[in-house]
Structure 1
Amino acid sequence: MPNDLNNERETQIPTNLRLLLVMEEIAKAGRPLKPMQLAEALGLPKPTIHRLLQTAEVEGFLQRDLDGRSYGPGPRLRQIAVHTMSSERLRTGRLAILKAVAEEIGETCNLATPDREGMTYLDRVETKWPLRIQLPIGTQVPFHCTASGKMYLSTLRESTLDAVLTSRPLEALTKKTITNPDELRQELSEIRARGHSQDNEEFMPSMTAVAVPVMDSTGRLLATLSAHAPDQRHSVEALAAFLPALKAAALKLSELHAA
C-alpha cells in the first residue's frame, strides 16, 4: 500500500519539476537535508530522490554536507541566488536604500551575502571622503574577522558553527584578529545578544566596521548591512552611533525582498 501511494504521488509531479522542487525544499529548509527527509517532504520514492540528488550534485547545483549524507546548496545554486538578488528591480530599490543610509551616516555602506568560503559584497555605496577603503563589489572577505562575517556566523546552528571554526586554523590578518575558536564563540554569543557585530581592525589595520542583519520573511539571515571607516575618522565605539540608521535601512531591505 505505501508503495502504491508513493507511485501515485510521483505521477502527480511532472518529471521536469522534481529536481526544482528538491532544490526548493533544501533552500527553504535553510540547512542540509537527508534523502529521507526530502522523500517525506515531497512524497517521492527514495530511489527517485537519490537519482535527483546525484544529478544535482554532479552538475554543481547541490553538494554533500560534512556528514556525507545530507545535501545543501552547491555553487551553481548559490550563484542563482546571487543573480536573483541582483535583478534590476531589486537592485534599483536596494541601491536607493543604501545611498540614503550612506548619505545619512557619511561613510561607506555594504550589502554582503554569505557564500561557502566567506562573505561576498553584493552592493556598495562609497563615502565621499577622499580617504576610503577599496573593497569593490564581488570582493569576498573572511567570516571570522569581519563585521559582516561574524554577524553571519552568529546565526549558524551550533554543529555548523563548530565545523566552520574547527575545519582549519583561523588566519590572523592583523594583530587584533581573533584566532582562538573559543574566544570567537564568546564574541558570537555577544553578537547574538546585542543584534549587531563589529570589526575593530581585525580584517585590515586601521579599519573599523559594524554590521547588522538583513532578515528574510522566515526570520533567517538573508544578508548583512555594514558600514566601515578608517579609524582616523571613527573608532569602533563611535561607529555604534550609526546603528539606528543601519537597522532602519536593514528593515527596509528586508521588506523590499519580501515584497
Structure 2
Amino acid sequence: MTSSSSANTTKGSTLDRVLQVLAIVAHSRGQLNRESIAEQLSMPIASANKLINQLIVLGHLQENIIGRVIAGPNLQSLSHDILKNQRFSEQRTSVLQRLADTIGETCGISVPNGIEMIYFERVNCNWPLQINLAEGSPVPIAASASGKLYLASLDTSIRENVLQHMGLTEYTPKTITNDGLFLEELSRIAEQGFGEDNEEFVDGMVAISVPIGSGALSFGYLFCHAPSFRTSLDQLKTHLPELRSAAQEILEFTLGELKTE
C-alpha cells in the first residue's frame, strides 16, 4: 500500500515534469521534437511521449506540421491572459501609444502561433482611414513583417523544413510565392535585423517589424503598418530607431515584471 507521503511525492514529481515540459516548449520557439524534449528532461522517450500526449489532449501542447512540439490553444490563451494582466500592461500600452503618435500610424505587438502570427496588442493611429486588424486576429506567417522576421530568426534548415510543409499562399500580386526567392528574402531579413511587408498580405498595406528581445529571450515582435498611399515602406523604415527604442523599453518592463514574480 502506498503511503500518503509517497503519493504526494509522486504527484509533485509529475507536476514538476509537466511544468518542465511547458517551460522547455515555451523557450524552444518551435524547434524541438519529442525526442529532443525527452533528452532535455533525461526521460525515456516512452515516458516523455505519454506526458506530451496527455498535454496535447488537454490542449496545452500541439505538434506543428513538421513534428515540432509547440504551445497548444489553451496554453497560448493562458499566456496571453497573463501578459494582459501583468502590472506593466499600462506602461506597455503607453509606449505603443507614444510610438503610434510619433509615427502617425498603427503600432502593435504580435506573437507566433504555429504557422500564423497573432496580433496580441495594438494602438490605432488617429487617421479617419485605417487598416483595422483587431487584437487576436491571425495573420499569415509568410506574408507579414513580423512573421517573416520570426522565420528569419530560425536556423536555415528549420526555415527550409517549415517552408516545405507549409507552402506559400498568394494573398496579393506582391506576395512572394517562389520558395527560392522566399528563402533569399528570409536571409536578407535576418541580415538586416528587421522585417518588412511590401503589400504582401493586404493590397495597399506596408509594414515593418522589430524583435522584442532576442534568441531564447524573445517576447514577440513590435510592428507598425500603414496604407501605402499615405506612408511608403521607405518612409516607415525611417522610424526603425523609434521602433527599436520602444521594443527595448517594452523588454525592460517585461523583464522587470518577471523578476518580481
TM range (shorter): 0.7 to 0.9
1:231 corresponds to which of 224, 228, 251: 228
Q: Write the deviation string for residues 105-133 of structure 1: whole angstroms up to 9, x where unpaired.
A: 11110111111131111111111111211
CA distance in 2 between counterparts of 1:66 and 1:133 reads 31
Bigger mean CA offset, 155-164 vs 118-127: 155-164
Describe the SS at the equivalent of 1:148.
helix
1:105-124 pair list within 5 angstroms: 105-124=103-122
RMSD (Å) for aligned C-alpha atoms: 2.3
**Secondary structure of the equivalent of 1:131?**
coil
| 1:151 alignment counterpart | 149
Q: Distance in 1 between matches of 2:66 and 2:129?
A: 46
Q: Distance in 2 between matches of 1:157 and 1:165?
A: 12
- What's the offset of the Cα at 1:211? 0.9
Taking structure 1 as reference, are residues 247 and 60 closer, same or farther at Cα in structure 2, changes over 3 Å only?
Answer: same
3-state SS, counterpart of residue 87 of structure 2: helix
* 1:245 Cα deviation from its structure 2 partner: 0.3
1:15 CA displacement: 3.3
Residue 17 (structure 1) aligns with: 16
Percentage of pairs with the same residue: 34
Instruction: Give CA deviations for 1:20-51 in whole Å, capped at 9, x if unaligned.
Output: 2222233233332434x445544555554333
Partner of 2:79: 81
- Establish whether residue 244 from structure 1 lines up as the match of residue 241 from structure 2: yes
Q: CA contact under 8 A between 1:32 and 1:65: conserved in structure 2?
A: no
Structure 2: segments with no counterpart, 5+ residues: 1-8, 257-261
Q: 1:258 aligns with which of 240, 245, 255?
A: 255
Matched-pair contact (CA < 8 Å) for 2:66–2:162: no
Q: Quick check: 91-100 or 73-82, which moved more?
A: 73-82
Q: Is the 8 A contact 2:28 2:216 kept in 1?
A: no
Deviations 1:58-108 (A, max 9, x none): 22222345565x633323222222222222424222101101111111111
Alignment of 1:54 onto 2:53 = yes
State how far apart, in whole Å, the 1-side matches of 2:188 and 2:91 are. 32
Call closer, same or farther: CA 1:136–1:85 in 2, change over 3 Å. Answer: same
Structure 1 counterpart of 2:32: 32
Q: By how many angstroms is 1:201 displaced?
A: 1.2
Q: Secondary structure at the match of 1:89?
A: coil
Write the distance in 1 (CA, Å) between the matches of 2:121 and 2:189.
Answer: 23
- Is the 8 Å Cα contact of residues 34 and 48 (structure 2) preserved in structure 1? no
TM-score normalised according to structure 1 size:
0.85
Q: Given residue 243 of structure 1, which amino acid in structure 2 is its aligned partner? A: L
State the shift of 1:167 in Å. 1.9
Helix, strand or coil: the match of 1:86?
Answer: helix
Q: 1:208–1:230: 8 Å Cα contact kept in structure 2?
A: yes
Q: SS of 2:173's equivalent?
A: coil
Answer whether contact 1:113 1:122 (CA < 8 A) is retained: yes
**Aligned equivalents of 2:127, 2:189: Cα separation in 1:** 29
**Corresponding position of 1:166:** 164
Offset of residue 231 of structure 1 = 1.4
Residues 175, 65 of structure 1: alpha-carbon distance in 2 compared, 3 angstrom cutoff: closer
Q: Which SS does the other structure have where 2:238 is aligned?
A: helix
Q: Which amino acid aligns with 1:34?
A: R
Instruction: Identify the range of structure 1 (10-19 vs 244-253) with the bigger mean alpha-carbon deviation.
Output: 10-19
What is the aligned counterpart of 2:99 among 101, 105, 108? 101
**Cα separation, 2, equivalents of 1:102 and 1:134:** 14
Distance 1:84 1:230 in 2: 32
Taking structure 2 as the reference length, the TM-score comes to 0.85
SS class of match (2:221): strand
